[in-house]
Structure 1
Amino acid sequence: MTATAQAAARATELREALDQHNYRYYVLDEPSIPDAEYDRLFRELQAIEAAHPQLVTADSPTQRVGGAPLSAFAEVRHEVPMLSLGNAFDEQSMRDFDRRVREGLDLPAGDLFGGGAEIDYCCEPKLDGLAVSILYEQGQLVRAATRGDGSTGEDITTNVRTIRNVPLKLRGKDWPDVLEVRGEVFISKAGFAALNERQREAGGKTFANPRNAAAGSLRQLDSTITASRPLEFCCYGIGRVDGALPETQTAVLEQLREWGLTISRELKLATGVDACLAYYEDIGNRRADLDYEIDGVVFKVNALAQQRELGFRAREPRWAIAHKFPALEEVTELLDVEFQVGRTGAVTPVARLKPVQVAGVTVSNATLHNMDEVARLGVMIGDHVIIRRAGDVIPQVMQVVPERRPADARPVVIPETCPVCGSAVERTQLVKRGKGGQSVSEGSVYRCVGRLTCQAQLKQSIIHFVSRRALDIDGLGEKIVEQLVDTGLVSSPADLFSLTYEQVIDLEGFAELSTKNLLSAIQDSKRPTLARFIYALGIPDAGEETAKLLARALGSLARISRALPEVLVYLPDVGLEVAHEIHSFFADDHNQTVISQLLDRGLELQEEGNVAAEFAASVSFAEFIARLNIPHVAKTGAERLANAFGSLSALIAADWLELKQVERFTDKAQQSLLAYFRDDEQREQALAIEAQLRDFGMHWDSPKAEVADDQPLTGQTWVLTGTLETFSRDVAKEHLESLGAKVAGSVSAKTHCLVAGPGAGSKLTKAEQLGVTVWDEAKLLDMLREQGIQP
């Protein structure tokens, strides 16, 4: 076999493998290889095609990068019009639709003795994206178009080819000679957040909502821009078909799924209008938890023969309807902007609005996030603005209606002093650290510098300190904390443990029993775990999971409180900025005083011990050198230095001649290394980091510890959903983690077990689709008791 023939065979093999992995990832949601392995196969195919351009095929996974910019979109006339759907906004409209369907099919109506014939309906969420048509001939993608006016759309073939879950060639066989599929192009919530973050970092314009982002991305004349956007496609129907397909809507969609097209995971068959209304209510309840935006539910008569019999009227089919959710967006007037002060001192603008109904709830306040967002929106007091509310998410101002701006509109100005305590308000600074040193830029957050002398910060800090996931002091709600602060009884979390019976009983709403209960709850909280205590301190940017990691990894408050940022970053998922926040918190004199007072007043931290066995001697000398961020000394160079010198002292003492002996260590790297250690401050810092690694037992010369792997759930990922009756999900999570499990918030193919209580929704559905083991609460309780845990 010639070299070219071998390359062709390998290219075919790689394309088939990549197509299979794409199908498992996007359609089945069952990834079979890590992303890194997929990338390796993809790069290998790219290399073969670059060396042998004649082997490139139109359906190759490498052909999704976009092409040369277009001057304009060509027109496409739809052979089968892409019609809009009629809308239902309430239950009666749905019942009227069902009645019209049954009458149109001349089916028996209900009477006093029965409900009459019932129709099977195909049910799926109505995605909030952009409708497109994709045409396949002989299984190959040949054209894609927007809906346009329903009769004529725009040719967006080049752009649609860049969408990762759109097959360039259909899987399997026996497809119709011509198959036009129709569906929605959209951007998931996570993809939208990531896209806007990238736009902000690049100084570009952010998008108001996922639908606008999807539409704007799909209509780019430069398809390389489209290729960089996180677009997805979900198929919901067909247009022109030259060939045979199943005779029901759901069976057609399942067949399209077999051919590699993504369909809704919420697809369901419902018999009768009552089942449709139940589906609508269920999806509505789970709407905020879905990975994508929806604005309603689409119901279609399932039998295609019945669809043909019902036909069309005007611009919409008689056999389908969109049952819309209440509007998530409304226009109202921005009356004023006030500034709230949070636990960390962040001064946040809040919009005061003329009350308006949004998604069935009266909204009078909305978040503006920060002053950068105010500037991006260009919002002024007096403007008419679009407000958006999704599920239980805090309403937010999405955009301004500029044509309705009044002549007396006023700019939004950040106060120079704190609206609560009068202390100065300062803009935060962002410090970016790298091999070239550090750079300082302005952050998006303004902070009151008054700290705990500011009552707003003090109140929020104490509310956090006593919260359920922190010290969990029952009976200390927000109103009581406010009383304690306002009366001067509490000026720091430590003061809670000095409260007396006489002080508490004089508070509004307290009697003898409630006073004793509160004081008893405070006493009962004096033995928190180290993780809970760290979380309760309220370290900026360090949440509950970070607190658990610090406690598990470093083992004691003493180590955590003096850990250098450069040591903290050796812990998984701790970046340098968070590490500096942790270090700065414990270096602060006031925080040190409060922690000392808490310990002096009887707090006894539980579960303290040694550095976790997995972190003992976990830092290699090569990794240490690489993390010093010496310019021109990368990972490979660090490994060569580590092999050549073996210790930091030897490396510091090395001269240029010794460095010359290091294999493939460039002159530029040598000069940079020598200059680094000639700097007294940098040299002493490196020695200090090494000394702490040695002190903590993490140093490369430290004794290794045996990592116990005898916890029964080690390596397993569990998910909790629904309502548990014996204990809360938080308590269940703690029990599972104590047995070595990782408790995640979402279901994937890697999930070991889902525990589902009453009210379980989309997570249970996804687990069943993926074949994940599902337990009820009783089975979980049995397992915990077998492990010696008495719930």
Structure 2
Amino acid sequence: MAETPKTNDFHDAGSLDDDVHAAQGEAAQLTTRILELREAYYEKSAAIASDEEYDALMHRLEELERLFPELQSQDSPTQTVGGRAQSLFDPVQHTERMLSLDNVFSIEEFEAWAAKVERDAGRPVHYLCELKIDGLAINLRYENGVLVTAATRGDGVVGEDVTENIALVPGIPKRLSGSGHPPLVEVRGEVFFPVASFRELNAEQAAAGERVFANPRNAASGSLRQKAEKKNADQLRIMHARLGRLRMLVHGIGAWERPPVDAQSEVYELLATWGLPTSTHYRVNSAAADAAEFIAYFGEHRGSVEHEIDGIVIKIDELALHAELGATSRAPRWAIAYKYPPEQVNTKLLDIIVGVGRTGRATPYAVMEPVRVAGSVVRQATLHNQDVVKAKGVLLGDVVVLRKAGDVIPEILGPVVELRDGTEREFVMPEFCPECGTPLRAMKEGDIDLRCPNAKNCPAQVRGRVEHAGSRGALDVEALGEVAAAALTQPLEPAEPPLHTEAGLFTLRVEDLFPVTVIVRDAETGLPKLGENGEPKTDTPFRRKRKKTGKDADPAFDPEAAVFTGDEDSVPSKNALELLANLELAKTKPLWRIIVALSIRHVGPVAARALAGHFGSLDAIRAASREELAEVDGVGGIIADAVLAWFDIDWHQDIVAEWARAGVQFATPDHPGPGAAAAAGGVLAGLTVVATGSLEGFTREGAQEAIIAAGGKSASSVSKNTDFVAAGPGAGSKLAKAEQLGVRVLDADGFRILLAAGPAGLPEFD
């Protein structure tokens, strides 16, 4: 972006007409860019520039319009709000305009605003301070306590009708509880992904070989603004699952004739009694200095909150002053947003290295001089693909601006062009896989990402699949983590790895593990971790030094005889012995876990449970037609195609054969056969049960497996189709939703009765 002129760039020379002409040109450029950014942000759920760049553009345009009032029009970005309603959704006109907020960026600016408010009010005021949620603004319209519409902000006058999707967001009541509801009230708030849910979502995206979301705000916006009728069954299931992870917090009101309270804080208390989700992170202060302390506190503790925040909103608590102080065309005068700058630092881009993941995707990663940002030292950051590298305009050797997106994910914003000295050079995406030398290519027409097609033998892909097999969602082999997976597939020593593919996983012997030395790699990027000296870290995860003296003296290990002798310097480590023991136990794990461990595209725990529960064996799954697979609840056409495609590959068949010879159990004992589980009945046949919280005697997965074993459907969210909710401590929103819908709630003891005897065994309600 070109350097923004300063105020005194005008009136220094030439005529006033020249100044006006220059200002007109700059204002036009600023307006074009601001509208482009608004369209991307509000209508496409994509942030193509930082908040800082957008705010700087807006401030510059406001300054020009102050200097040259004739430039300001009614449709100027300084006089309008947000974007516009997409044609994809029905338009909804807000009864009262949804305004934006003006921003301040320093305590001095906030204090100046507060002084003006107090001067205009002519009396003491109270400041309500609350967290500024980085989410999607939503307006809920209730008529006589019933939710009629939910709409996005849009242009502040007309938004998009997202009522159908909002109904799937937990915690938003369709009917208000309590009493005294007005004939009409508009309630405003933010829809967002909690930070933990966003991390889980991105982990699932990455595990499935899909693109991760840049930040929670974009993920929330993109998830909410989808049309169900444009989805197939699989896409609809994914859409509903994402909506079920969203949350909303209410932070204001729109249309409401004569609220029966006098303060904004009292509004929140009243809305909470009506069952609306309100934040607990707010405080009423009697002085601007106290509000400044609140701002400073959360500036230092942003990571302590369950959702993303990008600042603090300060409102005058007295409702009567809202009308007195009024609003501009786009923002109220009784509220202001204090924007925190995301922590940004400069560092040098040393190199861009391409890593290859489990699905073969080749991803460029920036390697930088180590620098501390947002509380941790960062030296690597993903650049996603070659197009992103070009779009960011970075060159090898550049000084770059680095931040942690959402204070979590390291992100390069771009180069500091002014610091270039001519030694920088362009990054060129390699033509061949850096791990196995196979030519990289797009796997389908129009695909931006390049992948290594050597899925069977590419060491990086084998390493990723082996680590996936040991993950918590698959075989849950604790000793088979990132270091162990790399040691088995890409050791520094010996020259021949213990595993060329995952087919040999269950026939590993202790002598296969004993000589291994491995370079320690980053779990996300697959790139070597570096020590303080800048050299790759190494590890010998499967051996340790032998204790030669004392009562705890170890025998030595003789690889040739595969026995402990007494004349060697090292012995197998605890990790080596645990790995082999855990793999032996994993052979008889539930069938669904074995299926997940096979790394079939799109088949995660949910689909694997559905397939295992319906068919009972891998042979039956393999013999099923596409139609038979797709008809299974929780599977559908896309997953059916992926399963069939997986079994069509000969080396995949070799994995199954090798695992079977090693004793892996590919069938559920006593399963009645394909499709017969429901027909055979189980005490929970035809029932949907949700297990949530800490149920005594059950792990989360154990509770889900018990429901399925009893013939029921284990669901992850509560709906009108839920028959029972088993809830322990920490149940949270699912318990609240069950109580709201009138779904019967059971404790751990009641859950055991339900599993053993079905609904008939439960005592009647009191």
Q: Smaller-chain TM-score range? A: 0.5 to 0.7
**Distance of aligned partners of 1:402 and 1:572 in 2 relative to their CA distance in 1, 3 Å threshold:** farther
> Aligned ranges for residues 38-57 of structure 1 at < 5 Å?
none
Distance 2:738 2:347 in 1: 41
Distance 2:378 2:387 in 1: 23
Match of 2:629 in 1: 568
Match of 1:348 in 2: 363
Asked if 1:493 corresponds to 2:502, the answer is yes
**Distance of aligned partners of 1:470 and 1:529 in 2 relative to their CA distance in 1, 3 Å threshold:** same
CA shift, 1:412, in A, is: 4.1
- Aligned counterpart in structure 1 of residue 133 of structure 2, from 127, 143, 155: 127
CA contact (8 A) 2:440 2:452 kept: yes
- Aligned counterpart in structure 1 of residue 584 of structure 2, from 523, 538, 543: 523
Match of 1:599 in 2: 660
CA shift, 1:535, in A, is: 0.9
- Aligned counterpart in structure 1 of residue 351 of structure 2, from 336, 340, 363: 336
CA shift, 1:214, in A, is: 11
Q: Secondary structure at the match of 2:484?
A: helix
**Distance of aligned partners of 1:254 and 1:517 in 2 relative to their CA distance in 1, 3 Å threshold:** closer
Asked if 1:390 corresponds to 2:406, the answer is yes
Q: Secondary structure at the match of 1:426?
A: coil
Q: Secondary structure at the match of 2:601?
A: coil
Match of 2:705 in 1: 734
CA contact (8 A) 1:337 1:350 kept: yes
> Aligned ranges for residues 42-121 of structure 1 at < 5 Å?
65-66=90-91
Distance 1:565 1:121 in 2: 62
Distance 1:593 1:63 in 2: 48
> Aligned ranges for residues 671-750 of structure 1 at < 5 Å?
707-712=679-684, 715-721=687-693, 728-740=699-711, 742-746=713-717
Q: State the Cα deviation string for residues 37-78 of structure 1 (Å, max 9, x = none).
A: xxxxxxxxxxxxxxxxxxxxxxxxx9984599xxxxxxx999
Kindly, what percent of the aligned residue pairs are identical?
32
CA shift, 1:546, in A, is: 1.9
Match of 1:236 in 2: 251
Match of 1:783 in 2: 751
CA shift, 1:574, in A, is: 3.7
Q: Which amino acid aligns with 2:665?
A: E
CA contact (8 A) 1:87 1:321 kept: no
CA contact (8 A) 1:713 1:740 kept: yes
Asked if 1:471 corresponds to 2:475, the answer is yes
CA contact (8 A) 1:451 1:457 kept: yes
**Distance of aligned partners of 1:412 and 1:732 in 2 relative to their CA distance in 1, 3 Å threshold:** farther
Match of 1:661 in 2: none
Q: State the Cα deviation string for residues 242-275 of structure 1 (Å, max 9, x = none).
A: 856412323324667999xx96533577699999
- Between 522-531 and 238-247, report the one with greater CA deviation: 238-247
Distance 2:754 2:155 in 1: 59
- Aligned counterpart in structure 1 of residue 450 of structure 2, from 446, 450, 475: 446
The gaps in structure 2 that reach 5 residues or longer are: 1-86, 146-151, 168-174, 200-211, 223-242, 517-539, 545-570, 758-766
Match of 1:247 in 2: 262
Asked if 1:266 corresponds to 2:274, the answer is no
Distance 1:708 1:611 in 2: 7
> Aligned ranges for residues 156-167 of structure 1 at < 5 Å?
156=155, 158-160=157-159
Distance 1:774 1:328 in 2: 45
Match of 1:532 in 2: 593
Match of 1:426 in 2: 441
Distance 2:717 2:452 in 1: 37
CA shift, 1:543, in A, is: 1.7
CA contact (8 A) 1:326 1:359 kept: no
CA contact (8 A) 1:124 1:264 kept: no
Q: Secondary structure at the match of 1:560?
A: helix
CA contact (8 A) 1:756 1:774 kept: no
Match of 1:543 in 2: 604
Distance 1:579 1:742 in 2: 20
Distance 2:469 2:320 in 1: 64
TM-score by length of 1: 0.52
CA shift, 1:428, in A, is: 0.5
Asked if 1:460 corresponds to 2:464, the answer is yes
Match of 1:665 in 2: none
Distance 1:122 1:343 in 2: 49
Distance 1:214 1:467 in 2: 27
CA shift, 1:459, in A, is: 1.8
Distance 2:625 2:181 in 1: 64
> Aligned ranges for residues 293-312 of structure 1 at < 5 Å?
293-296=308-311, 298=313
> Aligned ranges for residues 748-767 of structure 1 at < 5 Å?
752-753=724-725, 755-757=727-729
Distance 1:736 1:88 in 2: 55
Q: Which amino acid aligns with 2:461?
A: Q
Q: Secondary structure at the match of 1:520?
A: helix
Distance 2:323 2:668 in 1: 69
CA contact (8 A) 1:120 1:303 kept: yes
CA shift, 1:349, in A, is: 2.1
CA contact (8 A) 1:539 1:582 kept: yes
Q: Secondary structure at the match of 1:591?
A: helix
Q: Which amino acid aligns with 1:367?
A: T
The gaps in structure 1 that reach 5 residues or longer are: 1-61, 69-75, 108-118, 140-145, 148-154, 194-205, 217-229, 430-440, 617-704
Q: Which amino acid aligns with 2:630?
A: V
* Equivalent residue pairs, number: 536
CA contact (8 A) 1:754 1:767 kept: no
CA shift, 1:586, in A, is: 1.4
Distance 2:728 2:314 in 1: 28
Distance 1:500 1:213 in 2: 45
CA contact (8 A) 1:327 1:358 kept: no
